Amino acid sequence: MSLKPKHQRLLLAALAIAAVLAAVLLAMWGLKDRAAYFFTPAEIAAGKAEQGRAIRLGGMVEKGSIRQGGDGVTITFVVEDGKARVPVRYRGITPDLFREASGVVAEGRMRGSTFEADTILAKHDERYMPPQLGNQAAEHAAAKTLDR
């Protein structure tokens, strides 16, 4: 099988376009049920999060809500956003910057009315806030720190 150069070029161009289309279609298919949505406690209270589906929960760790479990490596706490509260259970070592009255993003899923977290991300330093929690807050904090 031998093609004329011109036809071969057309074929290659068609293949390249097909590849791009395939990538987009595959990506769309994958995103349809694998994108983890970001929820605030208020949205969870409104019943927007599906049970058992991988999601992220972001908000503030409620003051006085962190409790140690009996095995020493499980903790429970409450994430709130001023409008609603969601209890979270997590087994593992909490990140260094995880503390009460501070921003947190937890990855996991809803089981009943409790959020079962697989991973907990806390803010990296005082200048940092997850963008999902609002850039204004971070800018405000950054401006304040620089003023000092």
Partner 1 sequence: MIAELGLAALWLAAMLALLQLLLALGIGGRPSAAGARPLALVQAALTLLAFAALIVLFLRTDLSVTLVAANSHSAKPWLYKFAGAWGNHEGSMLLWVTVLALSGALLALFERRVAEKMLVASLGAQAALGLGFYAFLLLASNPFARLDPAPAEGRGLNPLLQDPGLAFHPPTLYLGYVGLSVAFSLAVGAMLTRQVDAPLARAMRPWVLGSWIFLTLGITAGSYWAYYELGWGGWWFWDPVENASLMPWLAATALLHSVNVLAARGGLRSWTMMLAVVAFSMSMVGTFLVRSGILTSVHAFAVDPQRGTFILVLLALYVGAALALFAARAATIREGAPFDPVSREGALVVNNLLLSVILGIVFVGTLYPIVAEALSGEKLSVGPPYFNAVAGPLALLLAALLVVGPLLRWRRDKRPLAKWVLPSVLTAATVLVITFVFVPGMGILSRLGLAFGIALVPASIVPLLGRSLRRTPLATWGMVIAHLGVGVALIGMASESAFTREKLAVAQPGDKLSVGPWLVELAGIAPVAGPNWTAIEAHLRASRGSGAETLRPQARVFTSPLTETSEAAIHTAWNGQLYAVIGKQRDDGWQLRLWWKPFVTLIWLGGMLIALGGLVALVGRLWRERRRGREAEE
**Cα 75 to chain centroid, rounded:** 20
Residue 137 CB, nearest distance to partner 1 (Å)? Answer: 10
Residue 56 vs 77, nearer CB to partner 1? 56
- Listed residue (142, 99, 147) closest to 123, CA to CA: 99
> What residues have CB less than 8 Å from 124, skipping those under 6 apart?
97
Residue selected from 16, 50, 83, 144 as contacting partner 1 according to rule CB under 8 A = 16
Tell the burial category of 47 from Cβ atoms under 10 Å away from its Cβ (0-12, 13-18, 19+). exposed
Binding map of partner 1 across residues 99-118, x = CB under 8 A, - = no contact: ------x-x-----------
Q: Cα–Cα distance between 80 and 104 in angstroms, integer?
A: 10
- 42 to 71: interface string for partner 1, x by CB under 8 A: ------------x-x-----------x--x
Stretch that binds partner 1, among 44-52, 80-88, 109-117, 124-132 (CB under 8 A): 124-132
Rounded to whole angstroms, how far apart are CA atoms 116 and 55? 10
* Rg for the chain, CA atoms, rounded: 23
Which of 83, 91, 111, 144: binder of partner 1 (CB under 8 A)? 91
CA atoms of 50 and 144, how far apart (whole Å): 39
Among 26, 52, 82, 101, binds partner 1 (CB under 8 A): 26
For partner 1, the binding residues (CB under 8 A) are 1-6, 8-9, 12-13, 15-16, 19-20, 22-24, 26-31, 34-38, 54, 56, 68, 71-73, 91-94, 96-97, 105, 107, 121, 124-132, 135, 138-139, 142, 145-146
